Amino acid sequence: MLRAPIKDQTVLVTGGAGFIGSHIVDACLTQGAKHVIAVDNLFLGNENNLKDALETGNATFYKDDIEIRTSLDYIFENHDIDVVFNCATKALNYSFLNPENAFSTNVTGALNLLELQRSGKFKTLCHFSTSEVYGSAVYEPMDEAHPKNPLTTYAAGKAAADLAVESYVRMFDLDAFIVRPFNNYGPRQNHKGMLAGIIPITAYRILNDITPEIHGTGDQTRDFIHVFDTINAVMKLYDKMKPAESINISTNNQVSMNNLVTSICNIMSYKGDVLRKPERKSDVECHNACNKKIHGMIDYQLTPFDEGLKSTLDWYKDNI
Ligand SMILES: NC(=O)c1ccc[n+]([C@@H]2O[C@H](COP(=O)([O-])OP(=O)(O)OC[C@H]3O[C@@H](n4cnc5c(N)ncnc54)[C@H](O)[C@@H]3O)[C@@H](O)[C@H]2O)c1
């Protein structure tokens, strides 16, 4: 065992009101964390995602910005934090609107945390990277050694943050590691506006009598993993990851946008048209992940995609 269990630790989750971050908050509470603090500027997050956590009395929410160093300072002054899960980010599509800030949120947030860690303010950093850092595949399946060829400033910022984590570990012996999920889906993923992911936006459109859309040929493929599988994997990996190590969290299962939208339409009994929109610039063609490493490290359980998609769509029906 490389580090003390989450039980009885005080944990900070950045982006804690977001999709993955709010599930990390819940998982830490389930594991018996002493206290869990979520910080989120609510750029895309929603305080409702923390409802259950806040009701336990063992969680605190700060609506604040991790790019502002003094905002993190006062949180660390108020709490004796042991572990940080860094989930804060601006959604990939935001890089088409505001490329500079999509990049700098990822980099500045990570650097602020690494500086706090370097000054001894907390022990362990679990940093969230993304499959987007790899860009389109140079070889397949993409393992952790795949070159990083980011195609958006979002991905470039994530890649830069990964390098910052690795270099701070080498220079200052910090306890920080990197988890790299592929495309997550499941309850609480944002369904509003142009920053929404394909599953929630398609569900939202169908539920609101708006025609669903596919960009480009629809042959683009992604590796979709249920968020509960990602969270279970991160919690199991927590005491196994060496400092500076990174790991793919993926399924080995490719789903094309055409097949995905068809499945959503079938499950939701939608019989109308699907609008064809122009290809989005910098859309990664294929994300075929290698998950050999994670299989070798933990008892890795994956939800069958059809099952996960159906329960996710049920959740949107109840929550939109
Ligand atoms: N969802 C996926 O498919 C996926 C895939 C790979 C990697 N990831 C990574 O997982 C992490 C969580 O992603 P997510 O899907 O939950 O996204 P999300 O947008 O739901 O959550 C990110 C949260 O960060 C908050 N935020 C943005 N800027 C902030 C700032 N400056 N200060 C404080 N909070 C800020 C947002 O309001 C949001 O709640 C990210 O690091 C992301 O890159 C996600």
Residue type, 78: N
Among 12, 14, 20, say which to mutate for ligand 1: greatest number of ligand atoms within 8 Å of CB: 20
Q: What is the mean pLDDT of the chain?
A: 96
Q: List pocket residues of ligand 1, CB cut-off 6 Å.
A: 14-15, 17-21, 39-45, 65-67, 87-91, 105, 109, 128, 130-131, 158, 181, 183-184, 190
User: What CATH architecture is 193-221+254-319?
Assistant: Alpha-Beta Complex (3.90)
Tokens of 161: 């943050």
Q: How far apart are CA 276 and CA 213, in angstroms?
A: 6
- Report pTM: 0.98
Over the chain (320 residues), the average pLDDT of each successive run of 10 is 93 99 99 98 98 98 98 98 98 96 98 98 98 91 96 97 98 98 97 94 97 95 96 98 98 94 98 94 82 98 97 96
Tokens of 172: 């200052």
The CATH number of the domain covering residues in 10-184+225-249: 3.40.50.720
Cα atoms found within 13 Å of the Cα of residue 109, Cβ hemisphere only: 29
Among 89, 142, 255, say which to mutate for ligand 1: greatest number of ligand atoms within 8 Å of CB: 89
Going by alpha carbons, the residue nearest to atom 41 of ligand 1 is: 87
Q: Where are the domains of the chain?
A: 10-184+225-249, 193-221+254-319
Going by alpha carbons, the residue nearest to atom 40 of ligand 1 is: 87
pLDDT at 252: 86
Tokens of 83: 């572990």
pLDDT for 7-65, tens place per residue?
999 999 999 999 999 999 999 999 999 999 999 999 999 999 999 999 999 999 999 99
Q: How far apart are CA 275 and CA 278, in angstroms?
A: 10
Cross-strand pairs, 127? 86, 178
In the chain, where do the E strands start and end?
A: 10-14, 35-40, 59-63, 83-86, 124-128, 175-181, 183-185, 213-215, 221-226, 246-249, 254-256, 275-277
How would DSSP label each residue in 186-230?
STT---SGGG--HHHHHHHHHHTT---EEETTS--EEEEEEHHHH
pLDDT at 290: 95
